[in-house]
Amino acid sequence: MRPVHDGCRAAPCVAVGFQPAHPVAGDLGRHASDRPGLLPDTPDGAGEQFRSAAAEIVRKVIDARGEAGATGHDSMVLRVAMPHCLATSRFPAWCARWQQVGGAASVRLHVGNVHDSVEWLAAGVVDLLVCFRHAVEDIQLDAQSYMRAGVEADVLRLYRPAGMALDEAELACEAPQARYPYVSYAQGAYFRRLIELSCGPLLQRADLQRVCETDFVDGAPHLVRAGVGLAWLPDSSARAAVEHGEIVAVADRRCAIPMEICMYARRHGPAQEAVERVFDQFGRG
């Protein structure tokens, strides 16, 4: 059991999951990371065996709670996993609506990176997984066992501090004269891979100078607001700062990456009636 915060520094809720410490990770043939927003490399055979064993332990814990009568209350709780940036930017608007539509007594929020969240969904720790989706960086889940629904569209867009002078023509210039400070996501982060795949040529240009690297998407808007540099942000995370005139989107369409916020769930789970009712708001696949 470990505490998982909802990104607002409120009291932690408890989620069941596993996350090997770094010394153990070396034996599994992959680098482990507990940094939010990161997807570890694909595990080798030993890693897969460890993950399967850990998932089975989680299932047994859940079964034991049920036998002890702990699930009598939990059966009315809709458990949802999502990354920090969605937990702070979108979950407040979703919470009451999903609780009401699902007919649950309450909604329990679990916050973590995509890898942990997928494990929680597979092990039955959560009923719903909500995350960003893009065709080039998609979550691979068996369509026979899991269903998916699109919740809403989003865009990963390049933003600048409101006080930063930026000649957007420089971004398209073969021989740029200006250099602009740039806030990057950490190596291996989901958004960094997506940006490199979609906007690679722009990143290789001399006019963007990396001055800061972060693995916390929720913190990136604050860095842009403070004038540290440009950064790619989801529109959903940038909206408040844009409305307050603190940051401005770069208009160049090559800097915009369309995404979708999607919801995933098992086709058969303990809170299936509530899940089905929530999914019916969006359609399903």
pLDDT digits (tens, 9 = 90+) for 222-232: 999 999 999 99
Rounded to the nearest 5°, which phi and psi values hold at 56?
A: -65, -35
Vertex 218 angle, CA 157 and 41, to 5°: 85
Q: Helices 114-123 and 45-67, interaxial angle, to 10°?
A: 50
- Judged on CB neighbours under 10 Å (0-12, 13-18, 19+), 108 is middle
Q: What is the pLDDT of residues 183-240, one digit of tens each?
A: 999 988 889 999 999 988 877 776 788 999 998 888 999 999 999 999 999 999 999 9
Q: Specify the pLDDT at position 147.
A: 94
Domains defined along the chain, listed by start: 2-151+261-279 (3.40.190.10), 154-259 (3.40.190.10)
pLDDT per residue, tens digit, the chain (285 aa), is: 444 444 444 444 444 444 444 444 444 444 444 444 454 555 666 766 676 677 667 665 655 554 444 444 445 799 999 999 999 999 999 999 999 999 999 999 999 988 889 999 999 999 999 999 998 888 889 999 999 999 999 999 999 999 998 887 767 666 667 788 999 999 888 899 999 999 888 777 767 889 999 988 889 999 999 999 999 999 999 999 999 999 999 998 889 999 999 999 999 888 889 999 999 888 665
Would the pTM of this model clear 0.85, i.e. be above it?
Answer: no
The three-state secondary structure class of 163 is: coil
Vertex 46 angle, CA 42 and 48, to 5°: 50
CA distances (Å), origin 233, targets 7, 91, 99, 168, 194:
16, 17, 28, 18, 12
Q: Give the closest residue to 114 by CA, choosing from 38, 170, 18.
A: 38
The three-state secondary structure class of 266 is: strand
Give the other-Cβ count within 10 Å of 267's Cβ: 14
CA distances (Å), origin 243, targets 42, 133, 238, 240, 252:
40, 25, 9, 5, 20
Q: Specify the pLDDT at position 13.
A: 45
Q: Specify the pLDDT at position 159.
A: 97
DSSP strand E in 104-199: where? Answer: 106-111, 128-133, 146-161, 180-185
Vertex 40 angle, CA 38 and 42, to 5°: 145
Q: Specify the pLDDT at position 77.
A: 92
Distance CA 275, CA 266 (A): 9
Q: Specify the pLDDT at position 281.
A: 85
Distance CA 9, CA 27 (A): 34
H or E segment to which residue 258 belongs: strand 256-266
